[in-house]
Chains A and B, each alone.
Chain A
Amino acid sequence: MSDTTKAKPASTPQGFFDKHYHVLRRLHSLTGIVPIGVFLIAHLTTNSSLLWGKWGLRHEGHDETIVSGGVHYFWKEVQWINNQIPHLLLIEIGLWLAIAFHSVLGVYYARSGKSNTARYAYQGNWRYRMQRLSGYVALLYIFYHIATLRWGWSFLVPGGAKWSADFAASTLAAALRGSNEGFTAMGIAVSLFYFVGITASVYHFANGLWTAAITWGLTISQQAQQRWGFASFALGVGLMGMAWASLAGALLTKPSEMQRIELQLLQEKGKGGAMPGEGAALVDATPLVNVPSDPEGTQPAAGGS
């Protein structure tokens, strides 16, 4: 074998990948689950409250509609995340780094294979292909999602809405619709992109959970792999339901209507009613509630959800 082995200089990227091959591979697998996958579960739970919030608030004696309960519960969750979690920004940066790491290596690994589903149209082979495709889609989607809603790159948002924690649901909905009222053409495109993006992300995570158990050697026998396959599938179906519920919750109500509810919440909590930054222009056209003047900072809290 020695005659076929040529030592490569260790300074090349190839050399770096080869030297730390195993650790990088397994860190890639691990980051897909912790923290990214775990965050995905928490994130979809929060976001889907836009649809199930009404029931979440019942024990507090509220009797709300699905829409007001959803906006209310989601608003509470987002407020909690932004005000109660210590070092939120540090946690977020850790998460972004993990996503960047997993994505860069993911693209590198995905490019090392050559799909052959045309010849070998087995289910497993399709899952393999979709795992790579959904990775690429998730990469584009997650980048757009974070850049627009978290980093405030509103030039990428049709209608220019800027997300704010005080107007969590309405600014999200406005970013999806492209306006504070009906859907614009670009808004429909963004909403469809969201649908494809979250669907790909959930598939990718669920299938990744299944393959990760093989990678680490947790499931060995065919039966064990199959059992874990069912479990991953069930988790995937549940998460897909939550992902679609989140999107439905964000799309089914007009942002202006959501904003009316949020203004009430802000007034009740004594936070006054700061209009969301860039989205304000959209709102001003249709004043729905009289906004009391706000002595303390008029800037809405920015933060993640």
Chain B
Amino acid sequence: MIQTLTSTSSAALAASNRRIAKQGRTVQVSIKRCDGPNKPSRWETFKVTTERGMNVISALMQIAANPTTIDGKQTTPPVWDSGCLEEVCGSCTMVINGKVRQSCSCLLDDYVPNEGDTLTLEPMSKFPVIRDLWVDRERLFHNLKRVKAWVPIDGTYSLGAGPRETPAKQETRYKLSECMSCGCCLEACPQFNVEEDKAQWDTSFIGAHAISQARLFNEHETGKQLKDERIDVLMGPGGVNDCGNAQNCVKVCPKHIPLTESIAAIGRAVTIRSFVKFFKG
């Protein structure tokens, strides 16, 4: 399944590419390389011989085994991050042919079906690069902490069974719970931009993922104990009001999480809370 080629035409394109792709062809993979934090980056292009069902990670493994560029230059093996290899952990997220997505679920046949086609790989641009395609997503997790994206049940004794959940609420929350903190929604968001100064993180745009997670836990029968705290953060600088409604986030989310609905739902919660605070203090 091509999950991040969201428009029907590109999903159809991927399917037809897969039909015409011949195995054993040679394709080129251009990688934006960087030796370490704040080091300059450069492009290097490698040849890859395709195998059946090959994904970007297996192409990278082939390159790493013999890191020679198309100009015959010996170089270091490219570095990337990955974990689950089945699009549930989010760690392999990178920019492929100009758009952000997971590399483990990205099949070469879909993108480069012809002999000599070129695939480009870049690290995400909104996070600091650790090396090559590997980025540091600390700010993404920091922003989840800002909204206390958890259920507060820690204590010294058993609290017993929690309150009941209705199936309808469960259904809404299930979709939201699929977020894998990959960062696609942040990479594609025009309002979420690089912030090198960590002191600014708490007042910079928090991003669609954290807004949606706040909704997930506000809708949870126990999680809603922290509702006001979450909404207060989302009402403040860098909160939901920073969203400019470009709605790229929902287009690129590989889990098809209704992020723009979460943004509007949190917008409503913020509206209500600001009136309550105004009149009740």
Interfacial residues, chain A to chain B (CB-CB below 8 A): 1, 4-6, 17-18, 21-23, 25-26, 109, 112-116, 119-120, 122, 124-125, 127-129, 131-132, 211, 214-222, 225
B244 CB, min distance to chain A CBs, angstroms: 5
B 246-281 to A, binary, CB cutoff 8 A, 1 in contact else 0:
111001100000101101111111111010000000
Interface presence of B237 (CB below 8 A): yes
Query: Is B236 within 8 A of A115, CB to CB?
Result: no
User: Residues of B within 8 Å of A, CB-based: how many?
Assistant: 42
Query: Is B191 within 8 A of A113, CB to CB?
Result: yes
Query: Is A215 within 8 A of B267, CB to CB?
Result: yes
Query: Is B241 within 8 A of A211, CB to CB?
Result: no
Give which listed residue, B99, B191, B237, B248, contacts A21 with CB less than 8 A.
Answer: B237
Closest to B204 in A: A112
Question: Which residues in B have their C-beta under 8 angstroms from that of A125?
Answer: 190, 246-248
Question: Which residues in B have their C-beta under 8 angstroms from that of A22?
Answer: 235-236, 239, 241, 270, 274
Within 8 A of A (CB), among B191-229: 191, 193, 198-199, 201-203, 205
Report the separation of the CA atoms of residues A199 and B246 in the bound assembly, to the nearest whole angstrom. 21
Report the separation of the CA atoms of residues A214 and B248 in the bound assembly, to the nearest whole angstrom. 15
Interface presence of B98 (CB below 8 A): yes
Report the separation of the CA atoms of residues A113 and B263 in the bound assembly, to the nearest whole angstrom. 17
Query: Is B267 within 8 A of A214, CB to CB?
Result: yes
20 A-B pairs in the complex with CB atoms less than 8 angstroms apart: A18-B203, A21-B239, A22-B236, A25-B241, A112-B242, A119-B98, A120-B188, A122-B247, A124-B248, A125-B248, A127-B246, A128-B244, A214-B245, A214-B260, A214-B263, A214-B264, A217-B269, A220-B265, A221-B261, A222-B258
Interface presence of B146 (CB below 8 A): yes
Report the separation of the CA atoms of residues A303 and B242 in the bound assembly, to the nearest whole angstrom. 39
Question: Which residues in B have their C-beta under 8 angstroms from that of A119?
Answer: 98-99, 188
Question: Which residues in B have their C-beta under 8 angstroms from that of A4?
Answer: 142, 198-199, 201-202
Closest to A217 in B: B268
Interface presence of B175 (CB below 8 A): no
Question: Which residues in A have their C-beta under 8 angstroms from that of B252?
Answer: 120
Question: Which residues in A have their C-beta under 8 angstroms from that of B269?
Answer: 217
Query: Is B248 within 8 A of A216, CB to CB?
Result: no
Report the separation of the CA atoms of residues A115 and B264 in the bound assembly, to the nearest whole angstrom. 21
Closest to B268 in A: A217
Interface presence of B169 (CB below 8 A): no
Query: Is A122 within 8 A of B241, CB to CB?
Result: no
User: Given A116-B188, A214-B267, A217-B267, does the pair A5, B199 have CB atoms closer than 8 Å?
Assistant: yes
Query: Is A21 within 8 A of B236, CB to CB?
Result: yes
Report the separation of the CA atoms of residues A216 and B264 in the bound assembly, to the nearest whole angstrom. 7
Query: Is A114 within 8 A of B190, CB to CB?
Result: yes
Question: Which residues in B have their C-beta under 8 angstroms from that of A220?
Answer: 261, 264-265, 268
Which 9 A-B pairs rank lowest in CB-CB distance, beginning with the nearest? A217-B268, A128-B246, A124-B247, A217-B267, A25-B241, A211-B245, A6-B199, A220-B264, A18-B237
Question: Which residues in A have their C-beta under 8 angstroms from that of B245?
Answer: 124, 127-128, 211, 214-215
Query: Is B251 within 8 A of A124, CB to CB?
Result: yes
Closest to A22 in B: B235
Question: Which residues in B have their C-beta under 8 angstroms from that of A122?
Answer: 246-248, 251
Query: Is B248 within 8 A of A120, CB to CB?
Result: yes
Question: Which residues in B have their C-beta under 8 angstroms from that of A128?
Answer: 190, 244-247
Query: Is B246 within 8 A of A124, CB to CB?
Result: yes
Report the separation of the CA atoms of residues A220 and B268 in the bound assembly, to the nearest whole angstrom. 8
Report the separation of the CA atoms of residues A17 and B146 in the bound assembly, to the nearest whole angstrom. 20
Question: Which residues in B have their C-beta under 8 angstroms from that of A113?
Answer: 190-191, 193, 244, 246
Query: Is A114 within 8 A of B193, CB to CB?
Result: yes
Question: Which residues in B have their C-beta under 8 angstroms from that of A214?
Answer: 245, 260, 263-264, 267
**Told that A116-B188, A211-B244 touch, could you supply 5 new A-B pairs with CB distance under 8 A?**
A4-B201, A22-B274, A124-B247, A218-B268, A225-B260
Query: Is A1 within 8 A of B268, CB to CB?
Result: no
Question: Which residues in B have their C-beta under 8 angstroms from that of A215?
Answer: 241, 245, 267
Interface presence of B52 (CB below 8 A): no
Report the separation of the CA atoms of residues A129 and B244 in the bound assembly, to the nearest whole angstrom. 10
B114 CB, min distance to chain A CBs, angstroms: 23
Closest to A110 in B: B244
Question: Which residues in A have their C-beta under 8 angstroms from that of B142?
Answer: 1, 4
B112 CB, min distance to chain A CBs, angstroms: 19
Question: Which residues in A have their C-beta under 8 angstroms from that of B193?
Answer: 113-114
Question: Which residues in A have their C-beta under 8 angstroms from that of B199?
Answer: 4-6
Within 8 A of A (CB), among B163-203: 188, 190-191, 193, 198-199, 201-203
